Amino acid sequence: MSFLTVTYGLSRSVKGEFLDPSALLLIYDVVSHAVSWEHSGRLSSPERKAPQDEFRPSNLILHPDEILLLREKAGELVAMNEPGFQLSYFTRLKLSASEEWRWYSSSLKILARDAQNNVSHVLIYSFPMQLDANVKRKLERLQADQLFMLRHADRFDTLTSREREILQHQASGKTAQESADALFISEQTVKTHRKNIRAKLDSPSLPVLFQFARAFDLV
């Protein structure tokens, strides 16, 4: 499992835009997918002094799962192409390898465009969240569903509307006969649909089928 280590140091062109010293500013290059970062506390300082120790951590580390989410969210923002619009999501970061992963609330907005007016860089503003164990578990489940959806969207898209109904019923605990009665089809037809669903999703186990149903909002 590889981590993405982000180079420390940003241009002061964003100086003064954000004032929360605990927040992090990341700039995502849409073309190269490179990310650079800085503490907003150092950028908001009115004097060009050397950063204090608290603003001079080792390179920022993104959780492996966050790389996929970051690219997906940046892609959504670029596709919208609306000046001033912001997308928000939750992300896990840490400032050194010895630290625990920490949850941040992040907002993305368009920062720069190239000569052809295409979006070239996205600004991500992230600030740490103080969460109890219960909320952390809920965020982890939510993010797990998001990642599962991103990784398996192509397979799910192969299901017909009827197969999605059958999957919804199965994930809800309905028997084949109960689905047949609800949809006015034969029990054997339901079983055939279930077989096709397992083949299309490459998911022979019920827990994985339930994960598909949950991630794609069928249950």
Nearest Cα to 34, choosing from 124, 117, 99, 94? Answer: 124
Q: What is the mean pLDDT of residues 188-195?
A: 96
Q: What is the mean pLDDT of residues 125-142?
A: 88
pLDDT digits (tens, 9 = 90+) for 40-78: 544 444 444 443 333 334 467 777 777 888 888 888 898
Where are the CATH 3.30.450.20 domain residues in the chain?
Answer: 4-130
pLDDT category of residue 124 using cuts at 50, 70 and 90: confident
Separation CA 12–CA 48 (nearest Å): 10
Q: Which helix (H) or strand (E) holds 60?
A: strand 60-62
For residue 164, pLDDT over 90 is answered with yes
Quick check: 73 and 124 in contact, CB under 8 A? no
Separation CA 93–CA 186 (nearest Å): 51
Higher-confidence residue of 193 and 53: namely 193
Q: What is the mean pLDDT of residues 105-117?
A: 89
pLDDT category of residue 188 using cuts at 50, 70 and 90: very high
Tell me what pLDDT residue 95 has: 76
Separation CA 152–CA 147 (nearest Å): 9
- Across 15-24, 26-35, 149-158, least confident range: 15-24
For residue 197, pLDDT over 90 is answered with yes
Tell me what pLDDT residue 39 has: 61
Tell me what pLDDT residue 59 has: 65
Quick check: 26 and 124 in contact, CB under 8 A? yes
CATH assignment, 136-215: 3.40.50.2300
- CATH class of the region 4-130: alpha beta
DSSP 49: P
Where are the CATH 3.40.50.2300 domain residues in the chain?
Answer: 136-215
Tell me what pLDDT residue 15 has: 44
